[in-house]
Amino acid sequence: MVQAYRFALDPNATQEHALRSHCGAARAAYNWAVGWVTASWWQRRAEESYGIGEAGLTQWRPWSLPALRKAFNEAKHTDPRFAAWWEENSKEAYSTGLANASAAFDNYAKSKNGKRRGKRMGAPRFKSKRKARLACRFTTGVIHVDAGGRHVTLPRLGTIRTHEPTVKLLARVQAGTARILSATVRHERGRWFVSFQAEVKRDLEPVARPDVAVGIDLGVKTLAVMADSTGEIRTIANPGHHDRARKQLRRASRVVSRRQGPDRRTGQKPSKRWEKANAARNKVHHRVANLRADALHKLTTAVAAEYGTVVVEDLNVAGMLRNRRLARRIADAGFGEIRRQLTYKTRQRHATRTIAADRWYPSSKTCSGCGAVKAKLPLHVRTYQCDACGLVIDRDDNAALNLAALAAAATTGTGVAGDQDTQSVSKPRGVDQKTRATRPRRKAEAGRAGGATLPHQRQTEARDRTQAEALTLW
């Protein structure tokens, strides 16, 4: 299997300058490739406006990686943007930018032709020197972990000391059970990191309870409620790392606001005191991010090592983040990261399975005892009371039990905790994906009769007009 090993670096001033130079070279090569390819697009558009036929138009420039490398190698000797300094960096830095540009154009073409899932992507744009993430990938040359376990060697960068021991990867390399494929350096959270992509030979780790399935209901007040197929329910409290640090962040931000910061409009440079205060504020942000990542990794590792089947929800996290009242807490919980980690840890480490419940599956509205489905269940109602069998249970516990039942429903049941022996159906208890109207019927009829438009109708009409204009422009 292919596995990544990431280590923090402690470069000196000279090495940090070289790292930034390589990452800047990757960004410059990316911008060159974007400009070189799109120049033919604009040229063809101008020629078409002059009435030139298809046969006389400028040829399309290819964006495959071999074509970009060939064109860049011809241009770097004469282009004033590269001629004076391109020899200072490894060729892998420029190859990184060209490979990223090629992938960006491929994704854009597939998205435009309907061959790529997800949000529609636009044409690649230039990367800003101020906002671009510093990263560079090495695939050839001297790439290895030193025998002492405290240094790594990279092409043109030489030997760099690591902040933490590299014995995990070094032991496997020396034993012959790992082979390093590539290395990526990245500046993240105020530090430099190196990630080794290695081909590792490792045995699958057996789970503690292979015949038990667990359903995980994620939330804000409680991070996760886990209910397994045996009926055991466990609750994982939400650490709330960002909420704990808000007071410290407010204080640090107040100090930054009282210093002389940068101003791009007037060209004003930040003062030394502003840079020092901004670094102190960023340190708090980085600590919160590190604590969150550590907690999520510990949670997902423990779950993947215990259960044979894990059932999670297919949450619309991007849509949930649009709620301005809950966005901060949802982002702090890391719903999407939990599902991502569970997916690869169960598949690669233990060869178990992860099931994603359908986004429209009513896990909270369905009774885990008899399977009855409520028409409505507002978010503020935290206790589920079944009108059919009289079951009274916590809302999150009920949802977790129904999610755990989906593991058995894949072959025998309906996805209801108390009804796992019936024939499987695609829509339990006749539930569909339609949302019932919540506005009173009299107001709707009055609006239609009087010819007036309601607020939600005006929003719908404005949205339709915007989409029509966008399609016309496209």
Residue tagged active-site, from 228, 396, 397, 419: 396
- Measure the CA dihedral 100/102/103/105, to 10°: 120
| Among candidate residues 169, 164, 191, 165, the one with its CA nearest the CA of residue 180 | 169
CA pair distance 248, 240, nearest whole angstrom: 14
Residue tagged active-site, from 217, 228, 332, 397: 217
Evaluated on CA atoms 24, 25, 28, 29, the torsion sign reads negative
Is residue 243 among the annotated active site residues? no
Helices (H), 113-165: none
Is residue 217 among the annotated active site residues? yes
| Among candidate residues 327, 414, 321, 316, the one with its CA nearest the CA of residue 373 | 414
Q: 365 CB contacts (<8 Å, ≥6 apart)?
A: 373, 374, 375, 376, 377, 431
Residue tagged active-site, from 306, 313, 332, 419: 313
3-state SS, one letter per residue, for 350-388: CCCEEEEECCCCCCCCECCCCCCECCCCCCCCCEEECCC
CA pair distance 386, 375, nearest whole angstrom: 12
Is residue 313 among the annotated active site residues? yes
The answer to whether residues 136 and 93 touch, using CB atoms and an 8 Å cutoff, is yes
Enumerate the active-site residues: 217, 313, 396
